[in-house]
């Protein structure tokens, strides 16, 4: 499964921790954080590029979503790296959505989910989060 991290502002993740995440999930990585009032994304298939952008963006001091991918649905490649943009948020996911995406073909399940949710407002996304928590109390996904 992927490694999906919701990182609080001020929580520092060491290079060793980030590298271990990538080594265990080497099919791509990315982060989303609000930098200078704008939600910014970075995706890479290369750990050193990821780390450089992560440090340059000051992510340690920001609330952020961080994701390290292992391919289960869709193809490998930058287009399926998380986080995915939504109109008012960012999306990361850990696990497999059986009804979305195909193994080894096209968009990943989460990429497809982001397309379906893209135009939803925050109130709707919050309601979906509550439904998800009731249906899957042990699992945790982030919207």
Q: What is the DSSP string of 58-81?
A: TGGGS-EEEEE---SSB-SSGGGP
pLDDT for the residue numbered 29: 95
Mean pLDDT of 33-49: 91
DSSP bridge partners of 35: 38
pLDDT for the residue numbered 52: 95
pLDDT for the residue numbered 139: 47
**pLDDT tens figures, 97-142:** 677 766 767 787 777 877 877 777 777 777 676 555 544 444 444 4
Query: What are the angstrom distances between the C-alpha of 118 and each of 87, 93, 125, 137?
Result: 5, 15, 10, 24
Mean pLDDT of 11-25: 95
Say yes or no to pLDDT of 61 above 70: yes
pTM here? Answer: 0.82
Using an 8 Å Cβ cutoff, are 51 and 18 in contact?
Answer: yes
DSSP bridge partners of 30: 43, 67
pLDDT for the residue numbered 101: 64
């Amino acid at each position: 499964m992927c490694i999906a991290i919701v990182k609080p502002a001020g929580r520092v993740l060491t290079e060793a921790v980030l590298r271990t995440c990538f080594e265990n999930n080497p099919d791509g990585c990315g982060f989303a954080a609000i930098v200078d009032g704008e939600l910014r994304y970075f995706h890479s298939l290369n750990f050193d590029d990821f780390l450089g952008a992560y440090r340059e963006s000051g992510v340690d001091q920001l609330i952020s979503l961080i994701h390290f991918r292992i391919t289960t649905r869709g193809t490998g490649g930058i287009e399926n790296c998380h986080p995915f943009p939504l109109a008012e948020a960012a999306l990361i996911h850990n696990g497999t959505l059986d009804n979305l995406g195909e193994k080894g073909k096209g968009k990943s399940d989460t990429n497809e989910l982001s397309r379906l949710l893209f135009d939803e407002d925050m109130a709707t996304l919050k309601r979906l989060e509550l439904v998800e928590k009731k249906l899957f109390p042990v699992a945790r996904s982030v919207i």
